[in-house]
Amino acid sequence: MAIVLFVDDEEGPLRWHCIMLEKTGGHSVAFYRYAEDAMRHVESVAQDGCPDIIILDINMPADGRYANDPTNTDGRRTGIRLLRDICRVLTNIPPIIVLTQLRNPEILGEAREVYDKAVILDKLAASPRALLDEVNILLAGAQEAK
């Protein structure tokens, strides 16, 4: 059983993804709607180890503004900032899946700059089963690398 950190501001539709990860995949899911809460979780577990895999949306609001809003300079975390902070805090970065419906190549490019090993999946195209399959593939690869 893997520990999955799942961060997305759209709680309703993504519940199916969590159910698939937990019920079918047998994984334990910590779900957070806000990047600030997720970062507190990461900081609290960083000493004891981290999640086995992280799934996050990069276009999450920070004080009502989204990642692609140039006025979002107040220091609150969007998904991009969360990704950057996770990579800064964790010494062993687990596999990361960016699950987003954002099609802005500039923002996706920024996510790749922050963590070039991130797997990017389209939220609208990836079924819960496809996400579970990708999680299992990445977890198997991480186990082989150890």
- Which residue ranges form the domains of the chain, and what is each CATH number? 3-145 (3.40.50.2300)
pTM for this prediction:
0.87
Task: State the Cα–Cα distance between residues 60 and 68, nearest whole angstrom.
Answer: 10
User: 139 pLDDT exceeds 80?
Assistant: yes
Per-residue model confidence as pLDDT tens digits over 60-109: 766 555 555 655 555 556 788 889 999 999 988 999 999 887 677 777 88
Q: Where do we find the tokens 């977890």?
A: 139
Per-residue model confidence as pLDDT tens digits over 6-15: 998 887 767 8
Neighbour tally for 41: CB within 10 Å: 16
The pLDDT of residue 63 is 56
Per-residue model confidence as pLDDT tens digits over 21-73: 999 999 999 998 888 888 899 999 887 777 999 999 887 766 555 555 655 55
